[in-house]
Amino acid sequence: MEWVEYRRDGDGHARFGRRTWWWTAVIVATLMAIPFVGGREVAEGRAAAVNCPAATYTVVSGDSWYKIANKLGTTPAALTAANNATISTMLHPGMVLCVPSGSNPAPTTTAASATTTPPVAGKVTIKQFPVQGTCYFTDTYGAPRSGGRAHEGVDIIASSGKYLYAVDDGTLTKQYIDAPGTLAGNGWRLTRADGTYFFYAHLSAFAPGLKVGSTVKAGQILGNVGMTGNAGTPHLHFEVHPGGGASVNPTPTVKAVDGCKVTAVPPQPGAPATTSPPTTTTAPKPTVPPTTVAPPPTTAPTPTTPTTAPATVPTTPPGSTPTSGLWSFIAPVKALDTGGAKLTPGGIRRIAVAGLTGVPAGTTGLMARISVRNVATGGYLVMFACDGGVPPASTLNYNPGKLNATMTMVKVVAGEVCVLTSTAVDVRIDAVAVLAAQGVGPQAIVTKRALDTRSSTPIPAGGTRSASIASMGAPSGSKAVTVSVTVIGPVAAGSIGIGPCGGTPWIVPFAGGSNQVMSGVIRTNDAGVCISVTEQAHVVLDVTAVWTGSKSLLPVTPKRLFDSRTVGMVTSGGRFMSMALPAGVTQAELTVALLGSSSNAALFVWNCADKVPTAAAAYTPARSNNSVTITLNVAVNALCLSSTAPVHVLIDLAAAG
């Protein structure tokens, strides 16, 4: 099955594309796991003869162990145990089963039972379908899950970021926060007046202003579809608990108000249905960026002297929510897209981010992914807090005809962040994570090469390759990885998509022919990271950190730590780089710019106390300026550098922890 997808490409042009509907795989896998009557049995087995001490049930066409258990008001485990069977035991019409004691079977035990009173879940009615369309769901209630669990809900599969609605009037009685090892991830418990509660899991973000104790109306937005917790693809796990008791099959409940084709947002209580687009303003254009000299021909901003003074770790601004230095990932939300109205060179654009979907009003830090388009001449972009001057550091060096994209962390002051470019370009910025009281932090590793298609075959046009969590050095349950991605020899201009396998990718355009680089913090799941291209190309994926555990990382005022233009190019002979960092800092997010190499250059960067990595942290094609974001162990306040070809290296500090 395929579907036609309408989207805009990186240059804003409308485009139709076709791709395989991955829901098909989900459906097939689900159906293969459920024995059914009238088809091929999925495993050999037959219930042993038993003498039923109580009521019996006669199997009818279309039955499965799960469906029968639901009809009888019992569990699949209790039903199979009462019949000396297993979930894989074949059923056939006319087979007589023993009803477990304590069950509530249908009035008869003959074939007519297929048309008797509906299961108890059908008695739970709701006013609103819980997910904004388009979406899909099928009945998997009771299906086995890891750890011997059974599935207690219905999975409604939809794109990340779709709205989630209150299914009835009620009160939010419990909030679940995503943390390493949790199953539900972000979630809500919505309880109505009769005690029945509804459980929502795997949200990417909560709707602003809601908290435990908030009363909501049917149709009110509660948050957004995501894949936090133990989720392999974006979806809502939805449960129904009548009277506050055990769960019942919610499939009949949601099916009765199926809204998977409904994309319109219902009217919201006291507010518009959708979030207003972010507003941006342009500050008066300075003649040159404050606190920095005019950029040299390399296009990277340069301080008057190399700066190695300790960076200042930010404190919590008055009135903001205290944070632990941990990050909560949200469904990507657009903060800025100039869309042809290019930024004015040297002008400071203020971007309002507080209040965007998933971004709390009091957040003090933002993780953002940045892409630059329509580049006529090379230049640089700086993203920074709006409470000071433009720092003498760059976030991204961009070039004509290249893949110009990266990710960074930035302090949020009074709900805003600022951005400046040295030339007129179009810029797209998306918020992907916020500083939060609960979340995850990065664990820096010795740079690890997770994928290199040059050892096999290039990724074909429309093809996908994956990197497992093991190949990335990431433990099970990791939320993200910090990566550098090199696209090598694309046969034509196209785009690359990278993201969690089965999830929503970050899609960035690339040019044809030449090698190109991008970097960022990329969401992952236990299935790993998947990379797709629209035109044939080789791809190399290098990992510098995995996002798991509770190590903090806070954005700082960008600071230049190293500039080889004052001491000479970095070569294969290596260079020792000392740093003056605040006491206790053990890891840092760094922006590494490579400038002025006459040939292709791969840069190796590592903590001098670690072993020399076999994978490069950054790369630049000949005669190109390029920059990447990496997360490194800086515990000894010194880094070692080595390059395959002479290249100037600039290293700026963006975050420390």
pLDDT in tens, 234-273: 789 999 999 999 999 999 999 999 999 999 999 998 754 3
Of residues 32 and 628, more confidence is placed in 628
DSSP string, 212-248: TT-EE-TT-EEEE-B--SS-SSSEEEEEEEGGGSS-B
Mean pLDDT of the chain: 79
Q: Which pLDDT band, with edges at 50, 70 and 90, does 104 fall under?
A: low
- Tokens matching residue 59: 């199997």
Position 38 scores a pLDDT of 35
Measured from the Cβ of residue 28, the count of other Cβ atoms closer than 10 Å reads 10
Cα–Cα distance measured from residue 519 to residue 522, given in angstroms and rounded to the nearest whole number = 9
Check: CB of residue 128 under 8 Å from CB of residue 266.
yes
CA distance readout (Å), 97 to 15, 50, 94, 403? 56, 9, 9, 63
Cα–Cα distance measured from residue 310 to residue 443, given in angstroms and rounded to the nearest whole number = 22
Position 88 scores a pLDDT of 56
Report DSSP state, residue 146: G
Pick from 338, 362, 357, 360: which is nearest to 349 by CA? Answer: 338
The residue to which tokens 């990791």 are assigned? 478
pLDDT tens figures, 208-225: 889 999 999 999 999 999
Adjacent-strand bridge partners of 1: none
Quick one: the chain helix, strand, coil %, rounded to 5?
10, 40, 55
pLDDT tens figures, 167-220: 999 999 999 988 766 788 899 999 999 999 999 999 988 988 899 999 999 999
Cα–Cα distance measured from residue 222 to residue 226, given in angstroms and rounded to the nearest whole number = 13
Q: Alpha-carbon Rg of the chain, whole angstroms?
A: 28
- Tokens matching residue 511: 């040019």
Q: How many CA atoms, within 13 angstroms, populate the side-chain half-sphere of residue 484? A: 30
Cα–Cα distance measured from residue 338 to residue 342, given in angstroms and rounded to the nearest whole number = 6
Domain ranges of the chain: 1-31, 34-117, 123-255, 280-442+549-656
CATH for the stretch 34-117: 3.10.350.10
Q: What percent of the chain has a predicted confidence (pLDDT) above 90? A: 42
Position 564 scores a pLDDT of 92
Q: What percent of the chain has a predicted confidence (pLDDT) above 70? A: 78
pLDDT tens figures, 290-303: 222 222 223 333 33
Q: Helix, strand or coil for residue 152? A: coil
The region of weakest confidence among 103-107, 232-236, 591-595 is 103-107
Please state the rounded mean pLDDT for residues 505-526. Answer: 89
Domain 123-255 has CATH 2.70.70.10: yes
Residue 437 has pLDDT above 90, yes or no: no
Global pTM value: 0.54
Q: Which pLDDT band, with edges at 50, 70 and 90, does 283 fall under?
A: very low
DSSP string, 316-329: PPTTSPP--SEEEE
Residue 465 has pLDDT above 50, yes or no: yes
Please state the rounded mean pLDDT for residues 507-533. Answer: 90
CA distance readout (Å), 195 to 172, 174, 654? 12, 13, 49
Q: C-alpha 347: how far from its chain's center?
A: 31
Residue 4 has pLDDT above 80, yes or no: no
- Tokens matching residue 314: 């930010």
Sign of CA dihedral 353, 358, 361, 364: negative
List of residues 6+ apart from 136 with CB closer than 8 A: 23, 27, 156, 157, 158, 260
Report DSSP state, residue 383: E
pLDDT tens figures, 48-83: 445 787 788 888 766 677 678 767 877 777 888 888
Please state the rounded mean pLDDT for residues 622-626. Answer: 84
Of residues 23 and 392, more confidence is placed in 392
Q: Helix, strand or coil for residue 81? A: helix
Of residues 478 and 28, more confidence is placed in 478
pLDDT tens figures, 148-169: 678 899 999 888 889 999 999 9
